[in-house]
Amino acid sequence: MPPTSVDAMRNILVVSVNWLGDAVFSTPVYHALKGQYPLARVTALCVPRVREVLAMCPDIDDVMVYDEDGIDRPLIRKCSLVHELRRRQFDAVYILRRSLSRTCLTVLAGIPVRVGFASKGWRKLLTTVTDCSGLDDIHRADVYLRVLESAGVKITDRACRLTPPAGVLRGWRDRLSALGVRAGERIIAVNTGGNWDLKQWPVERFVELVRAIHQQRLGRVILPGASKDVARVQRISDLSGVDPLITAGETGLTCLAGLLGCVDVLITADTGPLHLASAIGTSTIALFGPTRPEITGPRGQGRSVILQKDVGCNKTPCYYLECPDNRCMKAVEVQDVLQALQ
């Protein structure tokens, strides 16, 4: 067990998870560490894709990037990382995902307290092994918090928190004003993308929704998205005949967070932007189909409405990516979303 006194922990490393939504779900870990060890400097070690997210976590003092599949793949780069970890003299490391390679790096770096999940063959590499039982049945945020709990860290708050840079928020407010968004006008962001097709709402539903929001004067619609979403977003805009504001293809994660911090509501499937918006404090309407909100639902400060219909095969999380009809997502109607908005 790690020392419990405030003075015992001055320098803490957290080995992060690898995906956007999971990185957001991990933010209560850093908040709990700051609560237990208020004098400690907390550093996150992460892959490049989640660096921007963790940089917005108010409880993280520093972010180190480790690109194991890219620039840090050569052995000499791994040795350089070990040297840097040794130089920083961390008192403890909390490893949020089961990873032999990352655990070995922390051992070689001489970090005395090592806490995390492990397989049977390498449990001795950790000083405290976290219980892996029942992880599939609890929320992802609670999975990561269990690592801390196994080491005696008290958890008093399980909410996810992110704070976009003030300058980015200010830039978006100025831009929205320049685009004709009036002061006090309700802004509704509609995220049409997703990290896998099984979780995506049909294009024709988005077309109908955008048109209905405009016709019923429920707010001004913005269509954000990644570069891969540009064609879909443009198609939805064209078919709706509404001419919504389009920001797809131009928003990195920090920029997207700034936009989401300026809107009143985000409508989206269960994907990274949902959790980003919720953690920022934006209200969300989440369209769930194959996944379960008890496990990957929003855990942030923003108010959330979950829309999900029981179609039989989605009582537990479904990962049948070759599903021929995607009926769980189709079961959520446009009228359901409009009612949630109203």
Residues 184 and 146 in one domain: no
Mean pLDDT within 307-314? 92
Tokens of 198: 């099984």
Does the pLDDT at position 4 exceed 60? no
Spell 23-58 as b/e; 16+ CB within 10 A means b: bbbbbbbbbbbbebbeebbbbbbbbeebbbbbbbbe
The rounded distance, in Å, linking the Cα atoms of 169 and 175 is 10
Residues 143 and 89 in one domain: yes
Residues 140 and 112 in one domain: yes
Residues 228 and 319 in one domain: yes
- 188 forms beta bridges with 221, 265
| pTM of the entire predicted model | 0.93
- 220 forms beta bridges with 187
Number of domains observed in the structure of the chain: 2
pLDDT tens sequence across 272-282: 999 999 999 99
Tell me the longest C-alpha to C-alpha distance in the chain.
63
- For residue 159, tell me if it sits in a domain: no
pLDDT tens sequence across 115-174: 999 988 899 999 999 999 999 999 999 999 999 999 999 999 999 999 999 999 999 999
Residue 82 belongs to domain spanning? 6-150
For the chain, give the number of residues: 342
Task: Report which of 7, 9, 6, 35 is spatially closest to residue 92, judged by C-alpha positions.
Answer: 9
Domain boundary residue, one of 115, 150, 185: 150
Residues 112 and 189 in one domain: no
Residues 178 and 118 in one domain: no
Residues 326 and 192 in one domain: yes
pLDDT exceeding 70 applies to what percent of the chain? 98
Residue 191 sits in a domain of what CATH number? Answer: 3.40.50.2000
Is 164 within 8 Å of 153 (Cβ atoms)? Answer: no
Residues 172 and 289 in one domain: yes
Task: Please tell me what DSSP assigns to residue 130.
Answer: P
